[in-house]
Structure 1
Amino acid sequence: MKKTFTLQLSPEEAYDEAVFKQTVLRKAGLPADIEESFARQTRRSIDARGRKVIVNVEAELFINESPGSLLDHLPKYQDVRNADRIVIVGAGPAGLFAALRAIELGVKPIVIERGKDVRARRRDLAAINKEGIVNPDSNYCFGEGGAGTYSDGKLYTRSKKRGDIRRIMEILVAHGATEEILVDAHPHIGTNKLPVLVAKLRESILESGGEIHFETRVEDLILERDEIKGVLTNHGDAIRGMGVILATGHSARDIFQLLAQRKVLIEAKPFALGVRIEHSQNLIDRIQYHCELDRGPYLPASAYSLVQQTEFKGKQRGVFSFCMCPGGFIVPAATAPGELVVNGMSPSRRDSKFANSGMVVSVELEDLPHYQKFGALAAMHFQADIEKSAWELGGKNQVAPAQRMVDFVNRKVSNSLLDTSYQPGLESVEMRAVLPDFISERMAIAFKAFGQKMKGYFTNEAQIIGVESRTSSPVRIPRDKETFEHPHIKRLYPCAEGAGYAGGIVSAAMDGERCAEKLIAAYVN
């Protein structure tokens, strides 16, 4: 017998497994000690709008019946060792899922990744954190799994039009993620668990006969008239295939420059730039959960999402939180020496005492008149100049410029800074020396407004740390809306975040799958 329930539970009832089962049995009118019973949650979300936190749960109860698996899609990967080949540039979520989908469709993927495998990559992350040494091919952005490997691992996306979200989630579960990601309304995996999962995705590709070439950087394109035939690598190899999926991520500036040099059509694209803002997690919990001391043993670390429209010199622009990391850490995300970039990540337990979020301002191309001379690379050059300025003001290493929030609004250099999760350390500066007026003035307006929306958020017990500049690609590589193919170069499939489409793990993975499907349908089958 199977029964389904829609429940409003207390945090203890929702998050304590034994209490949850007793609660479901009680709702069903059954004794708590009934044998051969199994209760599970199929959907869960937190409602903290009222003074009392409620957890909305959809649940199933099985009596004398096997519950079965929550997985509907178990991928079947063919042996593709001798099959037609496609080339995939980049082993982030888009590239890996494009490769897996190609294998399902009977095609051999050749994945090229400039960075190292996930284990070797850790040494380069330690070097940037402890010594300020940036390896331009292996860092928080480049390497197996891309930027998503060392992130919060958020799996929430509103982009249902790109593909089947559930399918992506189930493939992740099949490779080691917990079934919790199928249940939570805002699921995440955590930076401590993602490396193992990414390695298992790699194993599936290799076991089926696909190839992954690490520490292999694309240095040129093999173009014949209006078609791409493959790529040339830093090792002098020509890697050819039936088509090329370009899934390089938003930080591969050398690829954007290569495309421009080879006169492949690209376009400047609006993006967003700002800072990371760091509060104590306890403060955010007290605001969000309306608690006096702490959130207690059952509720997860709370998150927030903020947006504010601002006006400066007659122009409206949005200021918004981005990639909020509860119980997380701020990390150095530069991809080349001489620049400073910060990003956020969280472990699976989200148990750091800090909460951080990107706080960024929309940047339109009309905001950058002095960069128009760079054409399609205008926004990229603006982004790079801000990162260089942050690096210089921080001391020409990976120490980040920072300022307390209220001090920033009041144009006062902070006499002291707070404890931080950012391992390389902070330098107190006037952040307006880093950020142009059209960004800093809008942020100052928004911080005050956010303090009205979240009482206690606007405080000098929070600090801004700069710069958060890699929110999305500053360049778009155009593609046909239906075929996904580049409009001028046949067999070239710009993909996911680096091409200006999709953002985040799930949407990038879905875009990778669809690019593989489109390429294979057009040129292989």
Structure 2
Amino acid sequence: MKKEIQFRLSPREAFDEKVFEKKVLSELGLHKGQDNIQIRQTKRSIDARGRQVKVNVSVETFINEEPSSRVIGEYRYKNIENASSVIIVGSGPAGLFAALRVIELGGKPIILERGKDVRSRRRDLAAINKEHLVNPESNYCFGEGGAGTYSDGKLYTRSKKRGDIRRVLEIMVKFGATEQILVDAHPHIGTNKLPGLVKALRQQVLDAGGEIHFDTRVDNIILNGNEVIGVKTQEGETIKGLGVILATGHSARDIYHLLYQKKILLEAKPFALGVRVEHNQSLIDSIQYHCAGDRGPYLPASSYSLVQQTYFEGKQRGVFSFCMCPGGFIVPAATSPGELVVNGMSPSRRDGKFANSGLVAAVELEDIPEFAQFGPLAAMEFQAKVEKTAWKAGGKTQVAPAQRLLDFVENKESQNLLETSYQPGLQTSNMNEVLPPFIAVRLRDAFIAFGKKMKGYLCNEAQIIGVESRTSSPVRIPREKDSFEHPQIKRLYPCGEGAGYAGGIVSAAMDGERCAEKIMEKYGK
């Protein structure tokens, strides 16, 4: 017999397995040993709005009955070694999930990845952190798994219209992710766990007869009239297939330049730009959990989500928190020498000393009229200029410009900086001069508002580190609404974050699947 129950529990009751089991049995009027009873949580979310933190838990109980598998879908990957090929450019979540879906539908994916496999990437990441050397082909953004591999692994998305969220999460579980991602309201995997998942996905593609080529940058798209027939790599090799799924991520500027030079339709796209703000995790815990800084042994490191409308020269723009990383650290995310970009990540346990989050302001095209000369690449060129300014302010290395938070709001020079998780180091700078004026003003106003929403947030025991500029693609590669095909170039399928159609691991994975379905439906017969 199966029963479903909803509970509102204390953190200890929710996260201590023995106490949780005792609570459920008591609610059912049962005791251990009376019957064959198995209990599992199906949904769990933390409610910290009141003075006492509560955990909402949905529970399934099975009495004298074996539990069904949490993974309810069937994901079968037959051998497609001799099938028609689909070229997939990029091995991030969009590219990998597109490849798996192509296999399911009877096609052979050929993934071309400019960077290295996840293991080899580690050496290049170490070189950025320790030696300030940026490999433009292998870094935090480029390489197997894409930018998402070395990130917090956040799996929460609101993009329900883009595909089947449950399906994506179940596939992740099938290939090694913990089943807890099917339970938690805001699931995450963690930067320490993602490489193993990515390797398992890669192996499945290879086992089914697909191909993955690392250190293989696509330098040209081969056209026959208005139709893609293949691509050319940096080694001069021509690879042909049914079509091309372009899943290159939001930082592949060379691809945008290539498309622009070939007069393939592009659009400038609004994005967001700002800084990373870093607090002690204990301070965020004390604010969010209404405690003295010690959240206890059961609650996870707390997070926050903030948004504020701001005004500058009569224009209203939103400022919002982005990619909040509890117990995490800040990393250098530049993709070329001569630029400075920061991002955040955290391990699966989220047990680091610091909390960090992007705090970014929306940038509309009317905010940057001086870049209109660059046409569809206007926002990208603006983004690049800000990153170069930050690089200069940090001393022309990967040392990042930084300022204490309250000093920034009050436009004061910081005499010194705090301990940080950012390994390359910090340089005291007035971020009001590093950031474009319209961004700085909006961020200052927003931080004042955030300090009122979260008492203690706005203080000089926090610091901002810049710049956080790769929140999303500043360019959109257009596609038809129903077919997902480029409106001008046949057999070209813009996909994922780099094309402007996703905003995270899960939404990118779903978009990859849908692009695979569309190309196989039209050309895979």
Deviates more, 1:287-296 or 1:168-177: 287-296
How many Å separate the matches in 1 of 2:80 and 2:207?
10
Corresponding residue number in structure 1 for 2:404: 404
Answering whether residue 173 of structure 2 is matched by residue 173 of structure 1, we say: yes
SS of residue paired to 1:150? coil
How many Å separate the matches in 2 of 1:294 and 1:107?
53
The aligned amino acid for 1:208 is A
Q: 1:417-457, CA deviations, whole angstroms, 9 ceiling, x for partnerless residues? A: 01100000000000022101100000000000000101111
Corresponding residue number in structure 2 for 1:183: 183
Corresponding residue number in structure 2 for 1:75: 75
1:249–1:496 contact (8 Å) kept in structure 2: yes
2:403–2:413 contact (8 Å) kept in structure 1: yes
Q: How does 1:279-294 map to 2 (within 5 A)?
A: 279-294=279-294
Corresponding residue number in structure 2 for 1:111: 111
How many Å separate the matches in 2 of 1:242 and 1:106?
12
Q: 1:340-387, CA deviations, whole angstroms, 9 ceiling, x for partnerless residues? A: 000000100000010000000000000111101111111001000000
The aligned amino acid for 1:360 is V
1:93–1:505 contact (8 Å) kept in structure 2: yes
How many Å separate the matches in 1 of 2:33 and 2:441?
62
The aligned amino acid for 2:141 is C
Question: What TM-score, normalized to structure 2?
Answer: 0.99
Displacement of 1:35: 4.9
Displacement of 1:33: 4.6
The aligned amino acid for 1:347 is P
Corresponding residue number in structure 2 for 1:386: 386
Corresponding residue number in structure 1 for 2:489: 489
- The 1:472–1:293 alpha-carbon spacing in structure 2 relative to 1, beyond 3 Å, is closer
Q: 1:256-313, CA deviations, whole angstroms, 9 ceiling, x for partnerless residues? A: 0000000000011000000000001000000000012311000000110000000111
Answering whether residue 224 of structure 2 is matched by residue 216 of structure 1, we say: no
2:92–2:148 contact (8 Å) kept in structure 1: yes
How many Å separate the matches in 2 of 1:277 and 1:133?
24
How many Å separate the matches in 1 of 2:524 and 2:172?
27
Corresponding residue number in structure 2 for 1:367: 367
Residue-pair matches, total: 525
Displacement of 1:63: 1.9
How many Å separate the matches in 1 of 2:436 and 2:312?
12
The aligned amino acid for 2:202 is R
Long gaps (5+) in structure 2: none
1:26–1:32 contact (8 Å) kept in structure 2: no
Corresponding residue number in structure 1 for 2:430: 430
> Identity of aligned pairs, percent?
71
- The 1:292–1:32 alpha-carbon spacing in structure 2 relative to 1, beyond 3 Å, is farther
Q: How does 1:86-97 map to 2 (within 5 A)?
A: 86-97=86-97
How many Å separate the matches in 1 of 2:29 and 2:359?
49
Q: 1:302-349, CA deviations, whole angstroms, 9 ceiling, x for partnerless residues? A: 110000000111000000000000010100000000000000001000
Question: What TM-score, normalized to structure 1?
Answer: 0.99
Corresponding residue number in structure 2 for 1:334: 334
SS of residue paired to 2:323? strand
The aligned amino acid for 1:245 is I
How many Å separate the matches in 2 of 1:32 and 1:56?
23
The aligned amino acid for 1:464 is I
Deviates more, 1:42-51 or 1:31-40: 31-40
How many Å separate the matches in 2 of 1:459 and 1:502?
34
Corresponding residue number in structure 2 for 1:23: 23
- The 1:378–1:299 alpha-carbon spacing in structure 2 relative to 1, beyond 3 Å, is same
How many Å separate the matches in 1 of 2:293 and 2:407?
26
How many Å separate the matches in 1 of 2:268 and 2:390?
23
Corresponding residue number in structure 2 for 1:344: 344
How many Å separate the matches in 2 of 1:287 and 1:413?
27
Q: How does 1:78-157 map to 2 (within 5 A)?
A: 78-157=78-157
Q: 1:9-67, CA deviations, whole angstroms, 9 ceiling, x for partnerless residues? A: 11011111111111110110112454522110000000000001110000011122211
Displacement of 1:74: 3.1
How many Å separate the matches in 2 of 1:232 and 1:413?
51
How many Å separate the matches in 1 of 2:451 and 2:260?
44
SS of residue paired to 2:279? strand
How many Å separate the matches in 1 of 2:313 and 2:68?
60
Corresponding residue number in structure 1 for 2:467: 467
The aligned amino acid for 1:234 is Q
Long gaps (5+) in structure 1: none
SS of residue paired to 1:382? helix
How many Å separate the matches in 1 of 2:520 and 2:434?
46
How many Å separate the matches in 2 of 1:293 and 1:430?
30
SS of residue paired to 1:322? strand
How many Å separate the matches in 1 of 2:520 and 2:262?
25
The aligned amino acid for 1:466 is G
